Structure 1
Amino acid sequence: MTHFSPADPSPHALGFAMPPEWAPHAATWLGWPADDELWFGHLAGVRSEFAELIKTIARFEPVQLIVRDEESERDARLRLEDANVTYHRQALDDVWLRDSGPIFVRRGQQVGLINWRFNAWGGKFEFENDNQVPEYVAGALGMAHWDRPEVLEGGGLEVNGAGVGLTTRSCFLTDTRNPDLTEAGYAALLQQTLGLEKLLWLGGGLENDHTDGHIDTITRFVSETTLVTSVESDPDDANFAPMQRNLAALREMTDASGQPFTVVELPLPAARLEGAEGRLPPTYANFYIGNGFVVVPQYHDANDKKALEVLRPLFPGRQVIGLPSRQLIEGGGSFHCVTQQQPAGEVWRGKEVELS
């Protein structure tokens, strides 16, 4: 297994780039929830929703599931009997693999990965085990990879597969992640590592989102030219004004060729949800796109059906499936936050590159 340091040729220099989520997958990686305290007493319900999510994904593509101990593996195997799941025993602090897991890059049919630092959204929780997940995945796959010193979370970045990335200032520019990186610095970094030609910025995300406003909770690419963005209908709600500012900003943005995007409004859940630590950030934008399907979180909310109606026409050829996420949101995230796609292609071992 080949390791690349920042002094070695970058992914972009070797022709690699991050593919969009809707590109074909080899598998989806997840972790199995295990700590009832982290879930504020909701672990049983969370595991039930996880099982339904994993069984749904496994109908369409293989699932690679990390379990942190014997009890977790036993529980998962019992709930996921006969599903297309491969189990990996590896220490975990939590299950947010969108952020703690690797980001995969592809060159033609060759797939490598990038091991970014993970610090639990600025040191908010324990993270030492989760920070080891990309290295574990690389070892399990025998995949060449780049070890980067920067903190970067997959949920903080959207890509359209045509050179454009989208993020939020409230997340990337916090002083608890990469305090020395400016907007221009991030643009250069993501050009070198993920092949992005253009990095676009929104202001911030949902109220009480402990990720500091990840883009995947509010605004998502659904194609190279189309975005969906969350909107709040109640002018008195704290999310109303920031979502309106995001909507206005998106309508002024253009792609790598200077063409405007099609921007589709996606409602937020109608009901305000409260958790153990205040308001929860439920959102339909935290859907996950896989091979032939899209899974959309549902919250027993009046807007559940409407969200599915907005999203279905945007994914021709894919089944858009609503699944329960009312317990999962108690931890602050949903389906996109707990998944990480491995693009289809052959494992790149990096043997042809001369290292410094």
Structure 2
Amino acid sequence: MTFRMPPEWAPHERTWMAWPGPNPTFATDAELAAARTAWAEVARAVARFEPVTMVHGPGQAASARELLGAGVELTESELDDAWMRDIGPTFVRDEDGRLAAVDWVFNGWGGQEWARWEHDAGIARRIAGLTGVPVHSSPLVNEGGAIHVDGEGTVLLTDTVQLGAGRNPGWTREKVEAEIHARLGTTKAIWLPHGLTGDYGTYGTQGHVDIVAAFAGPGTVVVHSQRNPEHPDHARSLEYLEILRGATDARGRRLEVVEVPAPTVLKDEDGHWVDYSYINHYVCNGGVILCAFDDPHDEIAAGIMRRLHPGRTVTLVDARTIFAGGGGIHCITQQQPMT
């Protein structure tokens, strides 16, 4: 049986998210409250365009309902963290168009010492059960934020994730590609060597592709462009651009590479290099939910997304609190394709 992962811009049945609970990522009451406010703002923005189901931990329904309002569905399940893109299922279709779910191995982004994943490792199966679709387990340690597909056979990957020692020691590129292609229906992998500098910090993913580059349509890819040479991502951006401009997709097309200027801010309040990125956006039915940073480049990024996604409403949502926890808007959402 063959499977294919639809592109993000294909019609959705709904969006899945996970409600922040007390954990190392949100260690203080203030951090948890700020995270819940930020997650709720994203959920409400997405709910303008399609149904949203929020998975919450035991005893957390009241806090979720208070901030989410009546427009978001709730369901209870044990959780460790709140990054649904990474812990949730990757939905695919079989050759007859029927929905199925890929359950990657999840080990806390490479077994990071602060991470907990006893419950999160089972969320993909839990959601598949709620949606009534079959589950196909993969032996690959992988997360949803570590892949991006064009729906026509091409997938973006990064060396430091799928080939990282904390995830898949001993795997070769060829073995990773064979497993990815079998699960997603892709035939061509484009590898980037690493993620953004800030993604290797305490709560980083060690190089997820979804803050670096993303398909905006067949043959078109948006890329994080750090144009300030003071930031270490300046050199990385040039490297990404060189690789992607020299690449072809699964159909042999030379990629149209669209640079999206990084926000102007370089460091956070603690003096660490930020990995703020507009690439970590979410495309939903009739909308694009775009990270905002109270930055002069917010509207530039919004204009690019309006051009690339005509007919969709671009909604800017402040993502600084989400990035402080280690991700962005794409990282906390997971699409379920239309049945």
Q: For the superposition of Structure 1 and Structure 2, which TM-score range results when normalised by the shorter chain? A: over 0.9
Alignment of structure 1 residues 193-342 onto 2, 5 Å: 193-209=183-199, 210-274=204-268, 278-342=272-336
Q: In the alignment, which residue of structure 1 is the partner of 2:161? A: 171
Which stretches of structure 1, 4 residues or more, deviate above 3 A after TM superposition? Answer: 275-280
The corresponding residue for 1:16 is 3
**What SS does the aligned partner of 2:197 have?**
coil
Q: Distance in 2 between matches of 1:175 and 1:32?
A: 30
TM-score by length of 2: 0.94
3-state SS in 1 of match to 2:75:
strand
Decide which moves more: 260-269 or 166-175: 166-175
Q: Quick one: structure 1 residues 257 and 141, their matched pair in 2 at CA, closer, same or farther if it must change by over 3 Å?
A: closer
Q: Alpha-carbon deviation of 1:140?
A: 1.4
> Post-superposition shift, 1:235?
1.4
State how far apart, in whole Å, the 1-side matches of 2:20 and 2:271 are.
19
Higher relative contact order (CA 8 A, sep 6+): 1
Q: In the alignment, which residue of structure 2 is the partner of 1:73?
A: 61
- The gaps in structure 2 that reach 5 residues or longer are none
Question: Quick check: 1:30–1:95 contact (8 Å CA) kept in 2?
Answer: yes
284-293 or 269-278, which moves further after superposition? Answer: 269-278
The amino acid that maps onto 1:165 is: V
Secondary structure of the residue aligned to 2:283 is strand
Between the two proteins, the alignment pairs up a number of residues equal to 330
Q: Are the equivalent residues in 1 in contact too, given 2:140–2:176 (CA < 8 A)? A: no
Q: Distance in 1 between matches of 2:304 and 2:27?
A: 32
1:57 counterpart = 2:56: no
Q: Is the 8 A contact 1:268 1:283 kept in 2?
A: yes
Change (3 A) 1:88 1:276: farther
Aligned to 1:351: none
RMSD: 1.5
Counterpart of 1:274 in 2: which secondary structure?
A: coil
Shift of 1:142: 2.2
- 1:156 pairs with 143, 146, 152, which one? 146
Return the letter of the residue paired with 2:229.
Answer: P
SS at match of 2:335: strand
Structure-1 residue corresponding to 2:126: 136
Question: What is the rounded CA distance, in whole Å, between the counterparts of 1:273 and 1:333 in structure 2?
Answer: 16
CA-CA distance at 1:39 after TM superposition: 2.4
Which of 180, 193, 197 pairs up with 1:190?
A: 180
How big is the shift at 1:276? 6.2
The code of the aligned residue for 1:61 comes to: E
Distance 1:69 1:227, change over 3 A: same
Are 1:275 and 1:330, in contact at CA under 8 Å, matched by a contact in 2? no
CA deviation after TM superposition for structure 1 residue 52, in Å: 1.4
- Distance in 2 separating the partners of 1:90 and 1:40: 21
SS across alignment from 1:208: helix
Quickly say closer, same or farther: Cα 1:36–1:91, change in 2 above 3 A.
closer
C-alpha separation in 2, matches of 1:282 and 1:111: 34
* Shift in CA distance, 112/277, structure 1 to aligned 2, threshold 3 Å: farther
Among all aligned residue pairs of Structure 1 and Structure 2, give the percentage whose two residues are the same amino acid. 37
Pick aligned residue for 2:102 from 114, 118, 140: 114
On the 8 A contact 1:40/1:276 being kept in 2, the answer is no
Instruction: Name 1:95's counterpart in structure 2.
Output: 82
Asked if structure 2 preserves the Cα contact closer than 8 Å seen for 1:39 and 1:330, the reply is: no
* C-alpha separation in 2, matches of 1:230 and 1:236: 16
Aligned to 1:86: 73
Correspondence 1:43 to 2:43: no
